Amino acid sequence: MADFILEMRNITKRFPGVIALNDVNLNVKRGEIHALCGENGAGKSTLMKILSGVYPHGSYEGEIVINGEEQRFGGIRESEKAGVSIIYQELELIKELDVGENIFLGIQPLKMGTIDWNRLYFDTRKLLQDVGLDIDPGIKIKDLGVGQQQLVEIAKALRKKTDILVLDEPTAALTEHEIELLMKILHDLKNKGITCIYISHKLNEMFRIADSITVLRDGKSIATHKLNEVDEPKVVSLMVGRELEERFPKKEHSPKEVVFELRNFTVYDTEYQDIAIIENVSLSLRKGEIVGVFGLMGAGRTELVSSIFGAFGGKKNGSVLVHGKAVEIHEPRDAIVSGMGLLSEDRKRYGLIINQSVSSNMTLASLDRICDFGRINSSKEFYLTGEYVKDLDIKVRSLDSKVSSLSGGNQQKVVLGKWLMTSPDILFLDEPTRGIDVGAKYEIYNLMNKLVDQGVAIMMISSELPEILGMSDRILVMHAGRFSGEFLYGEATQEKIMYYATGGE
């Protein structure tokens, strides 16, 4: 059937001890944007690795048909030849090389056996225009924002003959504005006849852009629908196998006394020491409340919490008060001692020691609790870790399992467990649900409610508006290093928040 550009038929992929994909079918029509969704571990990435030839023909069962011809990819190069390009969640650009060098890596245009740099940068500029990126092709990747890097990846894919473009979680690290831009570019690409497979956890994006959707759950393809036939609750229920009545388990909290206060807090850039990235900010957190902080990329949200926590390199002024007393915080351990915890935005870089066990990760911030006279008591460690694993419902085979073997949601819970073990009074959560599936998100929300009931003050930073609206007792909006708006739960709307986040007065 020429109607379909790509058919993946009855794909089954086994790993020792597990079936990752079980008789999966994926049919993608020519020229459409096809959303692929499912919880983490549902098999999306495995399926795409089969499509890209990472898992070569013979290592799986079933067949791949592109343009009506069966394909047997022995490796990535062969799938690229057949017109498949994949942009992974973790970008694969070389940070120390510039944009042009990255885009033409391996196929640099030659003139008399040496690289024709003029031609390379000329072509690069044209490709960048196609993706709406107005930057110098000679700029190094490390100097670009994540959003721009994503677009460079797309430009790189367009340089090759690409019929099928796969995007794996392209917007996980993007700001609203950048997402907007990406959506527009995908639309343009679609008009040029490029078929796109779009993997995402963000349903609203899919509904905005995709034509049809395939849902995977537990390694099986559950359903394929035209998007105008379904709505968000329906897709969510297909993904998790149950109807979620309410995506945010909002509970009434009764905030008590102020436990944390920030007065006239100013933070300077690490390199340009006279530029303030946080300017004269004051705020207070009360026992038993969730304060949501929303801001677009560059608003200074992460810099705010990490400098409160003593983890940011820049100079800072102003005072921090915990339980009414001023505290001096130079290093993260000062913050921990005064009862704070920080779940940072990038769990692999700042939260986890990826090749170590669940138990050694969870006890890292509270080693004193498991020591008897300076000697680590392994039994105590296992007992304590076990309690938190049970409490947080972390799915692990054993407490010795490396955290690298866990799904994103469970990894996030391990980091959360690490902080809960320190019994904090004040918990800063920086993007607590980034890159984790719907079910795990819901569990994290429930945990936040439970903690607040126990008297913890939570400050949650998020770039997902529904999350901010759905979970916060109070919402602070940041713009350019200041708080530009404050709302109570129920008062705020997406439009109002966005208005202040984009600089409205």
With CA atoms as reference, report the closest residue to 443 among 216, 247, 255. Answer: 247
Q: Which two tokens stand for residue 474?
A: 């109070």
Report the C-alpha gap between 111 and 279 in whole angstroms: 53
With CA atoms as reference, report the closest residue to 456 among 343, 306, 294. Answer: 343
Alpha-carbon torsion (259, 265, 269, 270), positive or negative:
negative
Q: Please, which residue, 12 or 377, has the CB nearer to other proteins?
A: 377
State in angstroms the smallest separation of the CB of 348 from other proteins.
Answer: 8
State in angstroms the smallest separation of the CB of 381 from other proteins.
Answer: 8
State in angstroms the smallest separation of the CB of 467 from other proteins.
Answer: 23
8 A C-beta contact, residue 270 and residue 471: no
Partnered with residue 291 across adjacent β-strands are 459, 474
State in angstroms the smallest separation of the CB of 333 from other proteins.
Answer: 4
Q: Please, which residue, 39 or 303, has the CB nearer to other proteins?
A: 303
Q: Any long-range contacts for 310-316 (C-beta under 8 Å, 24+ apart)?
A: 310/334, 310/335, 311/342, 311/344, 312/267, 312/270, 313/270, 314/267, 314/268, 314/269, 314/270, 314/273, 314/277, 315/267, 315/268, 315/273, 316/265, 316/266, 316/267, 316/268, 316/278
State in angstroms the smallest separation of the CB of 479 from other proteins.
Answer: 27
**Residue 197: Cβ within 10 Å count:** 25
State in angstroms the smallest separation of the CB of 320 from other proteins.
Answer: 16
Q: Please, which residue, 273 or 404, has the CB nearer to other proteins?
A: 404
Report the C-alpha gap between 334 and 328 in whole angstroms: 7
How far is the CA of 280 from the CAs of 335, 467, 479, in angstroms? Answer: 20, 27, 13
Report the C-alpha gap between 349 and 346 in whole angstroms: 6
8 A C-beta contact, residue 37 and residue 215: yes
Q: Please, which residue, 88 or 382, has the CB nearer to other proteins?
A: 382
What residues make contact with other proteins under the rule CB under 8 A? 309, 311, 331-333, 335-337, 342, 344, 349-360, 363-365, 367-368, 371, 374-380, 382-383, 386, 400-402, 418, 422
With CA atoms as reference, report the closest residue to 18 among 397, 391, 387. Answer: 397
Q: Which two tokens stand for residue 246?
A: 């309410």
Q: Please, which residue, 95 or 184, has the CB nearer to other proteins?
A: 95
With CA atoms as reference, report the closest residue to 407 among 25, 45, 27. Answer: 45
Residue type, 107: I
Q: Please, which residue, 133 or 335, has the CB nearer to other proteins?
A: 335
State in angstroms the smallest separation of the CB of 368 from other proteins.
Answer: 7
Q: Can you spell out the DSSP letters for 91-154?
A: ----TTSBHHHHHTTT---EETTEE-HHHHHHHHHHHHHHTT--S-TTSBGGGS-HHHHHHHHH
State in angstroms the smallest separation of the CB of 310 from other proteins.
Answer: 9
Residue 487, judged by CB atoms within 10 A of its CB (0-12, 13-18, 19+), counts as: buried
8 A C-beta contact, residue 321 and residue 263: yes
State in angstroms the smallest separation of the CB of 460 from other proteins.
Answer: 18
Q: Please, which residue, 154 or 429, has the CB nearer to other proteins?
A: 429
Q: Please, which residue, 196 or 342, has the CB nearer to other proteins?
A: 342
Report the C-alpha gap between 295 and 178 in whole angstroms: 13
Q: Please, which residue, 228 or 379, has the CB nearer to other proteins?
A: 379
Q: Please, which residue, 16 or 106, has the CB nearer to other proteins?
A: 16
Q: Please, which residue, 325 or 375, has the CB nearer to other proteins?
A: 375
State in angstroms the smallest separation of the CB of 148 from other proteins.
Answer: 24
State in angstroms the smallest separation of the CB of 354 from other proteins.
Answer: 7
Q: Please, which residue, 296 or 429, has the CB nearer to other proteins?
A: 429
- Residue listed under structure tokens 């079980």: 22
State in angstroms the smallest separation of the CB of 472 from other proteins.
Answer: 24
Please give the torsion angle defined by the CA atoms of residues 465, 468, 474 and 479, in that order, rounded to the nearest 10 degrees: -50
